[in-house]
Structures are given as C-alpha cells and as structure tokens.
Structure 1
Amino acid sequence: MSDSSPIQPRLLLAGLHPMILEDSRLQFCDRYRIDTVNANEHSLLSGVVRLRPDVVLVDFLCAGSLKTITRIKEIRPSCHVLGVTGMRRAEVREAILSAGAEGVLYRYDAAAELAPAIDAVLSGQPYVSLAVTRAIENSRTNRLKQMADLTDLDRRVLHLIVRDYPAYRIAMVLGLPIGAVRLSIAHLKRRFNVRTKQELKHCVVTHALFSVVP
C-alpha cells in the first residue's frame, strides 16, 4: 500500500541567526522539509541546485547582493524567494521585490512571520512584513505633511523636477529668474533631506506623492 500523504514543501534557510534557525526547526519540522546553508552566494546557489527547494529564505545581512535572488530564480524559476532585511524603507522593499523575490521579511520579526509568509508565497501571493509596511506608511505620512507645508512655487517646481525638467527649463516654463528656481530647488532638497534632484524625484515617486503635486 503506497503512502498517499502529501509531500512537504522544502524550505532552504540561508544566513539566518542561529536562534531563528532553531525556532524554525522546532515550529515547522512537521510542515516543511527544512535545510540550511551559508548565505554566501556559492553555497546558496549550490544548495538550490542540489536540494531544489520550494522556498528560499535569505538574509541580506550575510548574502552577497540582490543579484543572488535573480540567480536563484534563473536556476530554479519555480522557487519562491523571501528576502530578510533589517531595513524598513520603501526603496529597500522595492529593490528586493524587483530583484525577483516574492516577499520581504523584517529580520526581527522573521520567526513570528515565517509561517504566514511561506503560506502566502506558496499560494502565489506576495508578502511584506507588517513592520516594513507600517514604517513605509509612517514615512509617507511624514512626506505628505512636508508636501502640505510647501509654497505654491515650490509645488510647481517639484512637479517639473519629477518630470525631469532642468533648472533653466523650469525657469522658462514658470517665467522666473533662474536664481529663484535654484533657491526653490535648494529649499526642496533640505525639506526632503536629499542631496540631488534625482533623489528628490525618487522620494516623490517612491512615496506616491504624485497625487498631491498639482
């Protein structure tokens, strides 16, 4: 008589803290087949080839780069990748997801969120830690407050910066002296705590502030 019990998904853990590894084994040994490897790219990719995991959890504190995600997906396209990070910024979340990961886990909540994260990605749904989502929303709220305090001139200048207008063209469009435009740009950089116009544009786009720019 054959064993008809379902095959457990294989989970490959790379570079996680030993306490998280031990906790994961204790919690999920009856749900997943769990393997561990070092997070250096050679060991990780070799493990993907050899073990053919369904889900890879990789901590970027130890992993080489985001390109590791892309290489995992090239080796095993059906594999789901969860990236672990200690940063809770929108650009970090987007970078991990853009590299091909299906989920982002906040390192200090990884043990508690591992089960729902795995269930989500195995069912085809993305997963982002609640702590990351909350931090991004709080950051966006602060940015919206900064937007609300801008003068009409600064708003119009910002709108054109987002459209990649150089300072001289902004001056022409708004009928202003180039000096006034440069002062406005300098004020916007200080206001949003960035150093360049490109960073200023990135801030507006990342935090979805287009809707509040006239």
Structure 2
Amino acid sequence: MTVIRVLLADDQRVVREGLALVLGLLPDVEVVGAAGDGAEAVELAVRLRPDIVLMDLRMPRCDGVEATRRLRQRAPEVRVVVLTTYSDDRSMLEALRAGAKGYLTKEAGGEEIRAALQRVLDDGAALDPAVQHHVLNALTQPPPVKADELLTPREVEVLRLIAAGLSNGEIAARLFISEGTVKSHVNHLLAKIGGRDRAQAVAYAYRNGLAPGE
C-alpha cells in the first residue's frame, strides 16, 4: 500500500489540527508537517518533500496562490491541492493557473479528500463538484482584451499621464496638443474601459501595468 505524504497549510490552527486528526485516521495518508502561512508551506515543502501540499488560499505573508507558484519553481514534483472555503471563479482560476492540481472546498469529508489526493498522485486532477461549473463558466468567457489592444497608442500615453497625476492642461503641454484634444482622448479611453471618471482610469492603469514606474 502506497502511503501519501501530505503537508497541511492553513493559517487557522484549529483547521490544521482538525485536518491532521481526520487524515491521520486514514491508513494510506501520513501528515508530515503543517504550516501557518504560504511562505512557511513553501519552506517546509522544499525541506520535507511531501507528495502533496493541502493548501488554503487566504493566508498571511504569502497566500496559497503565490505559494503554489513558488512551489512550482522550487519543488515542481510536489503537487498542490487547494482546500478552501472560497469557490468563486477568480480564486479557483488563479489557483489552477498557478499550478494547483486539485481544488476542494472545506465541506469535503475525509474520504473525499483522500480520493482527491489519490487522483492527483496518479497524475490526474481533482475538482470538487461544487466548483466544476466555475471551470465551465471560465472556459466559455472570452479572454480579456489587453490595454494596448483596446486603446490607441495616444490614449495609452494620456492614460499614463493621468495615472501620474497630471491635469488636462499639463498633459496638453507635455504632448504638444490642445487641451480640447486631451479631453477628447480622455472621453474616448473612459468609454473604452467602461470608466466613469479619472479615478477609475487611474485604477485601470494600475491593473494593466500602465501606471508610473511600471
């Protein structure tokens, strides 16, 4: 019988201890360690080399997605199965893109977790039925349009200067165009990004790497 060596990562001590107790009752699962945050999980996984890290998403210092990403670089043979209370599209997709091989909610019981661990160990994938529809939703959504594909080069210039805190008059002087032209560019780019005002334009610039210094 192959024993699955598991490392637990959750910032709540009661959850870690509860999981260790439940998994410890299974004959083919061995809990080799427990971490209270993502950074500790990575260090322990690199040192202990478990088969699988059972990873929470919301943790201090380093969350589960970033920890999964670091593990893929530092210990690619260690698989990650997310075990979390979050089953929304964004959390799930971020985890899977970071390299997680499974995604379970904390409503899963011991046998469900064990079965998921075994599937992942066998190079499969394990998705809780409660989150499978999120995968389908994500696959049917069109990919987001990149900022440099959505906006003209001049609109990108104007957006960068807005994010830098310049007024329309200052932008006009910087780009050697009229203030009326600047206003036109601002109105066009706001319409394209679905923004109502300059604050939302600044937020868009930061999200898309168009802010000063990025």
**Corresponding position of 2:116:** 117
RMSD: 4.0
Matches for 1:189-200 after TM superposition, within 5 Å? none
Q: Where in structure 1 do 4 or more consecutive aligned residues deviate above 4 Å?
A: 135-141, 195-198
Gapped regions of structure 1 (runs ≥ 5): 1-5, 144-158, 167-180, 190-194, 199-214
Cα distance, 1:19 vs. partner? 2.8
**Corresponding position of 1:80:** 79
SS at match of 1:108: coil
Q: Does 1:14 align with 2:9?
A: yes
**Corresponding position of 1:40:** 37
Q: Does 1:92 align with 2:87?
A: no
Cα distance, 1:137 vs. partner? 5.4
Partners of 1:105 and 1:136 lie apart in 2 by: 13
Q: Is the 8 A contact 2:20 2:31 kept in 1?
A: no
**Corresponding position of 1:208:** none
**1:122-159 per-position Cα deviation (integer Å, ceiling 9, x unaligned):** 11112221111245658999x9xxxxxxxxxxxxxxx9
Cα distance, 1:38 vs. partner? 2.0
Cα distance, 1:97 vs. partner? 0.9
**Corresponding position of 2:128:** 129
Give identity over the alignment, percent: 21
SS at match of 2:77: coil
Q: Does 1:54 align with 2:40?
A: no
Partners of 2:57 and 2:78 lie apart in 1 by: 18
Partners of 1:136 and 1:76 lie apart in 2 by: 26
Partners of 2:87 and 2:67 lie apart in 1 by: 20
Partners of 1:115 and 1:50 lie apart in 2 by: 23
**Corresponding position of 1:164:** 150
Under a length normalisation based on structure 1, what TM-score does the superposition of the two structures give?
0.57
Count of aligned pairs between the two proteins: 168
